[in-house]
Amino acid sequence: EDNELNLEIAVELLKYAGLEITIAKNGLEGLDKFKVAPPGTYTLILMDIQMPVMNGLEAAKAIRALPVKDAQTVPIVAMTANAFPEDIAATLQAGMNEHLSKPIDLEQFHSILQKWCQ
């Protein structure tokens, strides 16, 4: 997430859910953090689509292409204002598991956390 306010909101929601958080301000930074982390470090990746340096679609594809044990299985959820059917299809084509539209629907957000972070 590259928007400071959106980042603060997401961090607070995740902390409230009791989750440990790693922040990346763009897709390349997220990719780099995933590359160097031991397998199993990340339970879930929340990925904005519109970010500087490397967008979320590119970052998700790059993560899925890594020769790392959990690169194919770590759940990646798009968290984006891009909510048209073609946007949702693009996130799935990039290897993401779910699509969460902004502004965030708290019920859907908690449902996704429960589904992937048990």
Q: Which residue bears the tokens 């594809």?
A: 61
Q: Which CATH class is domain 4-116?
A: alpha beta
| Residue spans of alpha helices (H) in the chain | 4-16, 27-36, 56-65, 85-93, 106-116
Calpha distance 12→10 (Å, rounded): 5
Calpha distance 83→74 (Å, rounded): 23
Domain locations in the chain?
4-116
The predicted model scores a pTM of 0.93
Residue 109, token pair as written in the block: 């957000």
pLDDT band at 5 (very low <50, low <70, confident <90, very high): confident
- 61 CB-side CA count, 13 A: 10
pLDDT tens-digit profile of 57-105? Answer: 999 999 999 999 899 999 999 998 888 999 999 999 999 999 999 888 8
